[in-house]
Structure 1
């Protein structure tokens, strides 16, 4: 078997807890893991959903649906204030690290974009290339269940793939990975390394990761965060209310990697902060696509096709 040097890529999954709702401290922690990944030869390092600065766990613990409630207003205001303003440079340190270490980064963040006032926030999956340039910002199309109480619905602008060392990488946020048309939008662009970013639970990753690998005949990564009762900082607003109903573990991880045949490259890991490293061989993709290529020889675009609107949505377009 002849193997091209571009067929191999080493990837890293940083399964960590944030310094919850502290953007600056969480950034520093994540950058340490970027450096560790690069030192171990990784060309891609991935982090969980809205890890920067944290998932909105309070919603399920403090009656998050109570309308016009002072507690919910306080927590939401604090959350927005700690969100990521990309235009203001809140990801510049990640871009600099990516360029310095020649490593691509896929991370989940709470984005508060200027094009939607800077007060509405989005669950965004950001890809930063090894050149330090942000390649895409994908805002979650449909926040799940109680997430809709704090996150706005995104658009298709970030449904894009990126080339890295011969691989074509795409990513989706959490339950978007269940959405067949969102997956198809990435498959159609030649994706052969799929990254699902999650807030962190084995129940979400152990089945779907392998299914996506088998469906796409691609490598499938699930990277999760962690969150335990002790991970809430002492200065969290309304901490007493949050802890009153808080279980010991809110997110137990479950990060893993499946091969294009659905077998485990890295089995799900739970209940520990860790940096998972694996080297993937693209020839496995070629082998499995011999009998099934979902966007290639097994597709029938003359019968069924997908139309994807990738325009960034905003309230007004100004013509001066």
Structure 2
């Protein structure tokens, strides 16, 4: 039935800062979801190859510190360059399994010189084509020491059966105007990706669903102290200050009425499945629609710049 969509929330840990091994884990997870006939699978923020946990553990803001330079260089080397075809195998699996995907990656963007990295949310459709790459608009707090700020090019939505899906990274979901940019394009299934932990997902997931009268999927990763690979640069210094659990999950789904369909799931690694019924969107839009009958565009209106930003522009 076209109004029903089976979704899979991939609450997994990365093979931290190991691009090749994490890609293999993602590919295995996609295949597993495909066997269960999932039609959309979502992975957490920066899962490929992992979140920069070291910044809060190694005096990350200290100027000219070798430990931060060397781990950062390791991070950049393990970031993804889409133009080089590094997501081709994942795209092929999406096509083979007829499954759409939101995947959080660290992107080493060629169109910005190829040395800086962006927390990007990639949407791959059911025929294996990359339809949008949303670079996180504003890295949060210590993330700014290793991530670059993105642009509005990825503020896009996509058709998926009767649904219109869009997504944002982590604290972007707290930014009212990017949310409104997606609502205004007809979004009714919102994807929020996080590095992990229910202190992020437990309130904002239900708030966005109530505000937008949409389904909201929040997907977080997991990370334990024992998940740091042995070849991590300066591993002893990282482990010295690390808690046992750095990310406890908290993946969840809220319905268009703001109530839980799947309450935050903690500490459990694996796939979480649910089937969403599009008809619930129309039911809840009856009394509120933030960009429709309950809006006043003659009074307030949002301007969005979706031009992909680059430092240079060449004219032949």
Q: TM-score, normalised by structure 2?
A: 0.99
Instruction: Name the residue aligned to 1:146.
Output: 142
1:286 counterpart = 2:282: yes
Equivalence for 2:212: 216
Q: What corresponds to 2:122 in structure 1? A: 126
1:90 is matched with 86
Structure 1 position 268 matched with structure 2 position 260 = no
After superposition, residues 190-229 of structure 1 pair within 5 angstroms as 190-229=186-225
- Tell me which residue corresponds to 1:69: 65
Inter-partner Cα distance in structure 2 for 1:60 and 1:88 = 31
Q: Deviation above 4 Å: which 4+ runs of structure 1? A: none
Deviates more, 1:196-205 or 1:28-37: 28-37
By how many angstroms is 1:108 displaced?
Answer: 0.3
Specify the alignment match of 1:108 in structure 2. 104
| Of 14, 20, 32, the match for 2:16 | 20
Report deviation, 1:198: 0.2
* TM superposition score normalised by structure 1: 0.98
For residues 281-304 of structure 1, the C-alpha deviation after alignment (integer angstroms, 9 at most, x for no partner) is 010000000000111111111111
Give unpaired runs (5+ residues) of structure 1.
Answer: none
Give structure 2 stretches of 5+ with no counterpart: none
Provide the residue aligned with 2:297 in structure 1.
Answer: 301
Within 1, Cα distance between the matches of 2:149 and 2:47? 18
1:166 aligns with 2:180: no
Distance (whole Å) between structure 1 residues aligned to residue 10 and residue 27 of structure 2: 11
**Residue 56 (structure 1) aligned with residue 44 (structure 2):** no
Match in the other structure for 1:41 = 37
Q: 1:5-33, CA deviations, whole angstroms, 9 ceiling, x for partnerless residues?
A: 21100000000000000011001101111
Cα offset for 1:187?
Answer: 0.2
| RMSD after superposition | 0.6
5 Å-filtered alignment, 1:251-266, equals 251-266=247-262
Partner of 1:157: 153
1:96 offset after TM fit, Å? 0.4
